[in-house]
Structure 1
Amino acid sequence: MKASLPFKYIIADKKGKNYVVFDFKDDSGKRKRKWVTTDLPADCSYKALTAKVNVIVAKFYEEFLTGSLTKVKEAPKEKEKTELSEESLSDDAECKTSFEFTAFLDYWLETIKPTLARTSHQSYTRYITRIKNYFDERYPHLLLGNLTALQLQQFYNDKYNSGLSGNSVKHYHANIHKALKYAVKMDMLDINVADKVELPKIQKFEANFYNKDELEQLFEVFKGDRLELVVHIAAYYGLRKSEIIGLKWDSVNFEEKKLTVRRKVSSTYGSGKEMIFVENQLKTESSVRTFPLIPHIKQMLIERKTLEGYYSKLLGKDFDREYDGFVCRDNFGKLITPNFVTSHFKYIIQKNKLKHIRFHDLRHSCASLLLANGISMKAIQEWLGHSTFNVTANFYSHLDFHSKVESAETIAKVLGGDSADTEQAIHDKGSEGKKSRKSST
């Protein structure tokens, strides 16, 4: 939105056409919105769209200065509720009646885009697209102001009955609730009807992970593989896939023995190919972190750097230099992409008949080993880069048997009892864990 003018505006896509949406206040201080068509298709050139928008904004500015747009109109005695047609988009209508629900979701997505990381906006867009498809089919031309809690409840019920988990339904609800909360904030709605619905019970997430023996098996099958270094970094540091691929040599300080996570690499598919995005700003401050350089990983990095120099010299101009400076590349200089990590990791796991886990579960494996060896939940939060302690606790509290033993010993000492029993409990619990993990492989 533009802040230098006495009004705000955005460019919105509605039914395959571009519109300029103006947001302003009338003389009474009431928020108003006006849609003006550009008569240009959604896929028009940027140059053509910019020229047309400049003309429309200039004309709107002139009208705004005359006061014709901000003059308060007498409200009709009875207001008929009509469907939002393309013609009515250009009418000077009040916010509470001018938006269809699904059109408003698009508007909200465009509004929050500058505040989100690219990957977060992609995730929002996927959910919003499915929500729109449902409501456009079930309740075509539903106005934002006419949306009811019952309609939302039916949507959640239908999603749950189709086989989605309570957790997945919650993600849909989170998007709708945020959008409607914004509508209330902008005086487009009086209340957030999403507050009234009942959500299905949410199953507590229990992470999948490998124990020490299983990780050693994993390291063995990845020896000499393109993902060998990637897998080791994931298991030792618990880094996210995007963070590992985002490592550059400037993140590795061999002299001070430090490894810093400060960027990430993500991807998406477009035009039939994987498009790579290098993002130099991580989602939260807690995601930026510096680790001690573990000797084993240091040695692997030195070997990788030496090998890269050898192949760079050997291949000369045929060595791919598009991603020079990145650590995780193959012997031809090509960047190891996020999709390759996911698919190749799965292939190697299946080929060698190892217990099924996702690549991301190496992060959980790292956390579970730290927790099992007495590292505090707070320290694990900082190691993994979780934004809050609650995130870490929700993932791993069910594994924290060690803290329960300490509590048992404390109460035994206070009230009287044989604290040696708790030592046996640790041994028994450890034995159970080993047996259960062996039986699951």
Structure 2
Amino acid sequence: MASYEILNPTKKGEPRIKITVEEGYDDRGRRIRFTKTVRMKSLSDRAIKKAIKEFELEVATSNKVTKNEEISFEAFVLEKWMKLHVKKNLRLRTYQTYNSTLTNYIIPFFKGMKLSKIKPIDIEEFFAYEKDSGRKNLKGKYLILKSIFTKAITWKFISKENDPMEEIKEPNVDKRHREKSYYNEEELLILFKVLEGVQPKQRIAIKMAAVLGLRRSEILGIRHHSVNFNNNTILIDAQLHYDHEQKKFLLGPPKNGLARTVIVPDKFMEEIKEYMKEHRKQKELCGDAWEPAIDENGEPLDLLYTNPYGYPNHINSITNEWVKLLKRHNLDYINFHGLRHSFASFMVAKNSNIKVIQEQLGHTDVRQTIQTYSHLTKDVKLKELSKFDDIL
């Protein structure tokens, strides 16, 4: 943990800050604390954050706290890699995913081992254990370990010659029969018929995934000003996440860091407009009881999807309501993200321009769209191959 205080400027008028970095407690229970006075060009938030980060890295990569060769794998991962790299450089959702994977799978296996003593055989045994246990996401775990030891080398906790990941190849995983992942056109028609009897908030959320190709977190991040009725578009420039450590909702950038504008069909835009009118009425009725989430600047988040008092619904609420709907109407199971796949597969089956699909989905490269969604549904494949009947 780091903090700072602004000091009197130097005789030349240069601003200064004193940075304090705390590294827990020593064996006698005394707080381990390091300080440094830094001359600054300015006292902007950005400049101060940069100075703090640099000093934290200096402390982390020095021998002040623990000799590098003595640090445990667990301590390095949690106190160094997670704090100085993942939390500061990656998105909240990625941080949460990494934290879960480390806590449940990786750290328990390497617990008690020193970072510098881990050998390639230990890595191989880890993946063998994961495979034998029938666990998933081996590629994700491989990438996490790769990043951990890459940073350990960069920060000089281990030498490049002692990198246990150097000769480790990404694990091969037997392709398993995948569960149904999207709806075809006929199944979408059935779904839309069912949605006619569903509450507007849930109906529109589902359609935003199936008709517009939006991700769940993108739907939850839509604000009233994001919707443009004049040209039937919605600006997708944020995702809503919940920070379990700070216990508050946060708006972060879209998945690839780039905002995009999605086109909305006329009929669906009318549904959205009606829902937004009712949402505004609810706000007026609540008056002072309306309690929206607050952003980092202290401004209220004018979100489209909230509870009756303006506060964001639980991140999993859309998914939970979706599963209930499937069971209630005996529909084939696909997860909520499968609605996004349904949108893409429907567009491909209708021979839509792949560039249009890419832009609607928010892929940075059209090749990603082609690789992910160029598969055709069984019906379309049969239709295309039946053309041979004309010449046989």
TM over 0.5: yes
| Counterpart in the other structure of 2:118 | 147
CA contact (8 A) 1:381 1:388 kept: yes
Unpaired runs of at least 5, structure 2: 4-14, 38-62, 294-299
CA distance in 2, matches of 1:110, 1:386: 29
Counterparts of 1:180-219 in structure 2, within 5 Å, are 180-187=149-156, 188-191=158-161, 192-198=163-169, 199-201=171-173, 203=175, 208-219=181-192
Matched, 1:99 2:65: no
CA distance in 1, matches of 2:269, 2:208: 10
Q: For 1:255, what is the secondary structure of its paired residue? A: coil
Deviation at 1:181, TM superposition (A): 1.3
Q: 1:201 to 1:216 in 2, by over 3 A?
A: same
CA distance in 1, matches of 2:344, 2:168: 36
Deviation at 1:200, TM superposition (A): 2.6
Q: For 2:145, what is the secondary structure of its paired residue? A: helix
Deviations 1:160-180 (A, max 9, x none): 100114xx1111111001111
Counterparts of 1:317-356 in structure 2, within 5 Å, are 317-322=288-293, 325-331=302-308, 333-356=310-333
| Counterpart in the other structure of 1:73 | none
CA distance in 1, matches of 2:369, 2:387: 28
| Counterpart in the other structure of 1:57 | 35
Deviations 1:22-75 (A, max 9, x none): xxxxxxxxxxxxxx77946xxxxxxxx7xx73xx3259xxxxxxxxxxxxxxxx
Unpaired runs of at least 5, structure 1: 13-17, 20-35, 41-48, 60-88, 406-419, 428-441
CA distance in 2, matches of 1:404, 1:219: 25
CA contact (8 A) 2:237 2:260 kept: yes
Stretch of structure 1 that moved more, 101-110 or 215-224: 215-224
Q: For 1:285, what is the secondary structure of its paired residue? A: coil
What TM-score do you get using the length of structure 1 for normalisation? 0.66
CA distance in 1, matches of 2:21, 2:375: 47
Q: Partner letter of residue 159 of structure 2?
A: L
CA contact (8 A) 1:265 1:276 kept: no
Deviation at 1:421, TM superposition (A): 8.5
Larger CA Rg, structure 1 vs 2: 1
CA distance in 2, matches of 1:181, 1:302: 50
| Counterpart in the other structure of 2:52 | none
The one of 279, 286, 289 equivalent to 1:308 is: 279
Deviation at 1:122, TM superposition (A): 1.0
CA contact (8 A) 1:249 1:325 kept: yes
Larger relative contact order (C-alpha < 8 A, sep ≥ 6)?
2
| Counterpart in the other structure of 1:239 | 214
Instruction: Provide the aligned C-alpha RMSD in A.
Output: 3.6
Q: 1:332 to 1:58 in 2, by over 3 A?
A: closer
Stretch of structure 1 that moved more, 290-299 or 170-179: 290-299
CA distance in 1, matches of 2:159, 2:126: 20
Counterparts of 1:334-413 in structure 2, within 5 Å, are 334-399=311-376
Deviation at 1:102, TM superposition (A): 2.0
Q: Partner letter of residue 358 of structure 1?
A: N
The one of 126, 134, 141 equivalent to 1:172 is: 141
CA distance in 1, matches of 2:361, 2:389: 26
| Counterpart in the other structure of 2:9 | none
Q: For 2:188, what is the secondary structure of its paired residue? A: helix
Question: How many equivalent pairs are there?
Answer: 337
Deviation at 1:270, TM superposition (A): 6.7
CA distance in 1, matches of 2:268, 2:361: 17
Deviation at 1:425, TM superposition (A): 5.5
